[in-house]
């Protein structure tokens, strides 16, 4: 197995590993250490069946079943299909998704831990996934900024996200809406393996920040978001068929990028690994006294 960094601050590329082969299990401790250190892995030259993708996903934890079942692979509710191809004249998956910076499933009480994408077909131009490192941004903040954020929580709403995206489906019934109460997550949390502080933040489903008014809270979220995505700590991964990409959903923001759908076909399978409650960073003495 050969490993080389992708950028100077995060991400690494892995070659010489067949994740469907017998060596995958014995190599997994190395893989987990790499993703703890680098947040993003690109494992090249894979050939996976849906069963193989599920076996690999389970090495990281419990696979999540996707809420939008009509976009999942038949018989595999955990495999979300992103594709502009058609099968028998019908869409093989959702064509566009994620064309905005975000983390996945921040509206869950235990946000998704890892995201895995396996590329079956990839456009020669466009269609990249963009990544931005939230841990590095927090490290570069002033101590006053870090102290202001520690101990605060962001409030997330699936209903806000659903209502803003008509393609998700018809309006929810009151009974359906009651299944998705708002949740809160610490803005600054601790990595469970390394103990490093990192930001966890999302924009599309965020309603506000504890201890701040609605307008001030959303303005803070916007400012932090812009700081992250316009930083030098970003990377655009241009897929090749056989790429298996794994990233830490608690440490990176990501976004899809467009491509010419009349010229190219993109077909990828995505799985998500269930997470755990985020570990809040210790609150600063000043904020603790104020709250």
Q: Is the model's pLDDT at 239 over the cut of 80? A: yes
The two three-digit tokens of residue 75, written as one number? 């018989």
Cα(151)–Cα(288) distance, integer angstroms: 8
- Mean of pLDDT values over 109-119: 96
Q: Is the model's pLDDT at 143 over the cut of 90? A: yes
Q: At what angle do helices 50-60 and 24-38 cross, to 10 degrees?
A: 60
DSSP bridge partners of 135: none
Cα(190)–Cα(259) distance, integer angstroms: 36
Cα(154)–Cα(120) distance, integer angstroms: 36
Alpha-helix runs per DSSP H in the chain: 24-38, 50-60, 134-140, 143-149, 158-163, 174-177, 214-229, 285-290
Please answer whether residues 35 and 239 qualify as being in contact, where contact means their C-beta atoms are separated by less than 8 angstroms.
Answer: no
Q: Is the model's pLDDT at 165 over the cut of 90? A: no
Lowest mean pLDDT among 43-47, 115-119, 169-173, 253-257: 169-173
What letter does residue 164 receive in the DSSP assignment? T
* pLDDT value of position 66: 78
* pLDDT value of position 235: 97
Confidence at 74, pLDDT banded by 50, 70, 90: confident
* pLDDT value of position 21: 86
* pLDDT value of position 23: 80
The two three-digit tokens of residue 238, written as one number? 């241009």
Please answer whether residues 269 and 81 qualify as being in contact, where contact means their C-beta atoms are separated by less than 8 angstroms.
Answer: yes
167-215: pLDDT as tens digits: 666 787 888 888 889 999 999 999 999 999 999 999 889 999 999 998 9
Lowest mean pLDDT among 26-30, 83-87, 93-97, 159-163: 93-97
The two three-digit tokens of residue 85, written as one number? 């191809």
Give the CATH number of the domain where residue 260 resides.
3.60.130.10
pTM attached to this predicted model:
0.90
* pLDDT value of position 284: 66
Q: Cβ neighbours of residue 237 under 8 Å, at least 6 residues apart?
A: 42, 128, 129, 130, 131, 243, 245
Q: In what order do the strands lie in the sheet with 153-156?
A: 183-186, 153-156, 206-209
Strands 40-43 and 12-15: parallel
Residues in the chain: 291
* pLDDT value of position 285: 59
- Mean of pLDDT values over 83-111: 79
Confidence at 155, pLDDT banded by 50, 70, 90: very high
Quote the domain boundaries for residue 239: 2-290
In the chain, the number of structural domains is 1
Tell which wins on pLDDT, 85 or 9: 9
Q: Is the model's pLDDT at 53 over the cut of 70? A: yes
* pLDDT value of position 200: 95
Helix (H, G, I), strand (E, B) or coil at 150: coil
Lowest mean pLDDT among 57-66, 118-127, 253-262, 277-286: 277-286
Tell which wins on pLDDT, 84 or 25: 84
Cα(167)–Cα(173) distance, integer angstroms: 16
């Amino acid at each position: 197995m050969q490993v080389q960094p992708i950028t100077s601050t995060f991400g690494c590329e892995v070659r010489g590993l067949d994740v469907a082969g017998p060596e995958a299990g014995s190599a997994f401790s190395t893989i987990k250490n790499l993703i703890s250190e680098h947040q993003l892995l690109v494992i090249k030259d894979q050939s996976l069946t849906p069963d193989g993708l599920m076996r690999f996903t389970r090495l990281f934890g419990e696979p999540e079943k996707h809420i939008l079942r009509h976009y999942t692979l038949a018989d595999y509710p955990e495999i979300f299909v992103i594709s502009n191809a058609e099968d028998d004249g019908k869409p093989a998956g959702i064509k566009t998704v994620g064309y905005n910076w975000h983390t996945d499933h921040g509206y869950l009480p235990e946000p998704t831990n890892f995201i895995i994408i396996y590329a079956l077909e990839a456009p020669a131009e466009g269609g990249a996934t963009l990544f931005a490192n939230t841990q590095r941004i927090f490290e570069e903040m002033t101590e006053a900024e870090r102290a202001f954020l520690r101990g605060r929580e962001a409030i997330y709403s699936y209903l806000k996200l659903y209502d803003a995206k008509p393609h998700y489906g018809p309006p929810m019934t009151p009974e359906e809406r009651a299944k998705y109460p708002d949740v809160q997550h610490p803005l600054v949390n601790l990595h469970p393996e390394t103990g490093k502080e990192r930001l966890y933040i999302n924009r599309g489903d965020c309603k506000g920040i504890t201890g701040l008014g609605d307008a001030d809270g959303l303005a803070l979220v916007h400012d932090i978001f812009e700081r992250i995505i316009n930083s030098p700590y970003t990377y655009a991964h241009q897929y090749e068929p056989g790429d298996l990409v794994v990233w830490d959903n608690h440490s990176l923001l990501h976004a899809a990028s467009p491509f010419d759908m009349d010229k190219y076909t993109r077909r990828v399978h995505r799985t998500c690994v269930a997470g755990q409650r985020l570990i809040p960073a210790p609150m600063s003495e000043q904020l603790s006294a104020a709250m």
